[in-house]
Structure 1
Amino acid sequence: MHRLLSIATACILCQAQAFGAIYKCHEGGRVTYADRPCPGAGAELALRAAPPPDPETQARMARARDMVLEIDKERAEQTLREERDGERARRAALALRKRCDKLRLQRQWLEEDLARTRGDAKEAARIKVRRQAETLAVECPA
């Protein structure tokens, strides 16, 4: 209870610095604090002005604030770079997948041509299929 009263008093005093005077009132054996003059017995509290801020502390705080802003800026730039790199990688993967699909389709067509080929042209068709398979193996190892 005493701690709660101390906290409430501190809050009221802090608000008083920002908003105006504080009054200590005595009502029925109880002490209360208010922002208006007391109806019964009471007195206005003399409030001291806050001490001026320490220049060294202000300078340290300014440096820390600048450092935080710089870190946030670098983090945002890094995130943007990662997003761009990710998009570039997705486009490259899509292009590779298309290229590999095209090579597989060409190999399939050459195999179909080989199956229909007769006579002397069969060996040339077989070489084309083998070369296409080799190209596919080199460009699309998976």
Structure 2
Amino acid sequence: MRRLFCVLAGLCLTAQVSAQTMHKCVVDGKVTYSEAPCADGRGTTLAAPPAPPSDPQAKADLKRQQHELKQLQKERKQREARDEADLQRHDRRGAERRKRCDRLALDKKWADEDARAAVGSNADKARQRAQRTGEKLALECPR
């Protein structure tokens, strides 16, 4: 990409330089060069050198660089699509995990309420169920 930009910038600068007329002026013994004619009108107009012939290799290089650019852009788009799919999958798994943990927390809450309300032989079973539900919650959803 940088190479392509440098080549195009060089071509643009070459085109601009070749189109400009330079003036050589001598003011108080000092030689200056400018694009504008001399103030006193006694300057020398310098002819711009002819543009160098186009390099056939440059055209081939440009085509190759354009092809590389297209390939790199294609690879970048594929990588971005993969990354986006990975991110969505990660978000979906996180949401599923939060939902499962919320469900287990609610089950634990209900089991604790049932254990407090139970009497007799059902109380032991309810306490054991509440304890196991709490252990399951702690195992799957450490906080």
TM-score of the two chains, using structure 1 as the length reference = 0.66
Structure-1 residue corresponding to 2:106: 105
Query: Matched residue of 1:17: which SS?
Result: helix
The answer on whether the counterparts of 2:101 and 2:141 sit within 8 Å (CA) in structure 1 is no
Corresponding pairs, count: 128
Aligned to 1:51, what secondary structure does the other structure show?
coil
Contact 1:16 1:35 in 2 (8 A): no
Contact kept, 8 Å, 1:27 with 1:41, in 2: the verdict is no
Identity fraction in percent: 36
Change (3 A) 1:15 1:26: farther
Q: What are the equivalent positions in structure 2 for 1:100-139 lying under 5 Å apart?
A: 100-126=101-127, 128-129=129-130, 132-133=133-134, 135-136=136-137
Match of 1:96 in 2: 97
CA distance in 2, matches of 1:14, 1:32: 23
1:33 maps to: 33
Structure 1 contact 22–45 (Cα < 8 Å) conserved: yes
Q: CA deviation at 1:87?
A: 3.6
Unpaired runs of 5+ residues, structure 2, are 1-13
Greater displacement, 128-137 / 96-105: 128-137
- 1:29 is matched by which residue type in structure 2? G
Residues 61-92 of structure 1 deviation map (CA, whole Å, 9 limit, x = unaligned): 33123323432443344234324422431232
Instruction: List gaps (5 residues or longer) in structure 1.
Output: 1-12
| Matched AA of 1:28 | D
Q: Is 1:107–1:133's contact at 8 Å kept on the other side of the alignment?
A: yes
Change (3 A) 1:114 1:51: same
Q: Residues 124, 43 of structure 1: CA spacing in aligned structure 2 closer, same or farther, 3 A cutoff? A: same
Deviation at 1:126, TM superposition (A): 4.7
Q: Deviation above 6 Å: which 4+ runs of structure 1?
A: none
Q: Is 74-83 or 89-98 further displaced after alignment?
A: 74-83
The Cα shift of 1:106 comes to 0.7
The root-mean-square deviation of aligned C-alpha atoms, in Å, is 3.1
- 8 Å CA contact 2:23–2:45 kept in 1: the answer is yes
The residue number in structure 2 matching 1:47 is: 48
Secondary structure of 2:43's partner? strand
The change in CA–CA distance for 1:134 and 1:33 in structure 2 (over 3 A counts) is same
TM-score (norm 2): 0.65
SS at match of 2:25: strand
